[in-house]
Amino acid sequence: MKVKLGHIELQNPVIPASGTCGFGQEMSEWFDLNILGAIATKGTTREPRYGNALPRIAECPAGLINAIGLQNPGVDEVIAHELPALRQLYRGPIIANISGFSIDEYAHVCERIDKETDAAILELNISCPNVHNGGMAFGTSPEAAAEVTKAVKAVTTKPVFVKLSPNVTDIASIACACVDAGADGLCLINTMLGMRIDIRRRQPVIANRYGGYSGPGVFPVALRMVNQVYKACPGTPIIGCGGVGSAEDVIEMMMAGASAVEIGAANLQNPMVCREIIETLPEIMKQLKINHLQDIIGVV
């Protein structure tokens, strides 16, 4: 079940997605983290953030809408406490998810995390739809995506994977712009912009009005976009995410072109889902006559 993200080897392709497992300590209460292929940490900004006003999460058919707003303790706290605490629990690759509200902030936070031996990959979140004046603003045009990617690559040595937004007309052009600007890999998709309304109160269900829609309902969209980007950016490793909730979904996502897969909303419904997928994968591989997962990447 071993796969590779560039030169970094994972014992399996299963990764809890950023924002769905905190900094790992919460998930460690459910199972041994060392069974995971990698862990993507909570998105980190320069300053501590409380996030958006409550309520900021709502269930909906085939998924949920969230507008957490990048709640996190800030890069100083992450470096001083969160990453070392996670390393005490987990021996595998740590993917540090980085967010920001300006190119300078992205570069500053990435440069700080780049010096930390506990982080193996920097995941550049230019696709968060839940905050104002940041995140997705950099992920909706090839020029802006390339600019922030180039700025981060200029101050870092670790592999940089850019997390892309599905809320665009041509994700392949943005992906290629990031690769041309130096991105070592890509992660897609982040959440789709959605909304729910409380028809009795005649108000949006979440205080932020709009939020990121995730869960099984977005899986076909994610699969299509991963496949498009795989074909448009040959040789670039892709972490596929968006509605993945089973071992079969992992296989399908890898066949579309993903080298590894992040599990997001499913973690919030079932904290054991990553372990269950890892335990089920060998049997699914046997049924499908797959000897090595690496062999099925992009076969479609």
Sort strands 197-198 and 94-98 into parallel, antiparallel or unpaired: unpaired
Tell me, letter by letter, the H, E, C secondary structure of the chain: CCEEECCEEECCCEEECCCCCCCCCCHHHCCCHHHCCCEECCCECCCCECCCCCCCEEEECCEEEECCCCCECCHHHHHHHHHHHHHHHCCCCEEEEECCCCHHHHHHHHHHHHCCCCCCEEEEECCCCCCCCCCHHHHCCHHHHHHHHHHHHCCCCCCEEEECCCCCCCHHHHHHHHHHCCCCEEEECCCEEECCEECCCCEECCCCCCEEEECHHHHHHHHHHHHHHHHHCCCCCEEEECCCCCHHHHHHHHHHCCCEEEECHHHHHCCCHHHHHHHHHHHHHHHCCCCCHHHHCCCC
60 given a catalytic annotation: no
Beta strands 160-163; 185-188: pairing state = parallel
The answer to whether 253 touches 17, Cβ cutoff 8 Å, is no
Cα–Cα distance for residue pair 238/184, rounded to 1 Å: 9
Cα radius of gyration rounded to whole Å, the chain:
18
> Which of 21, 60, 110, 128 is an active site residue?
128
Q: Which residues are catalytic?
A: 128
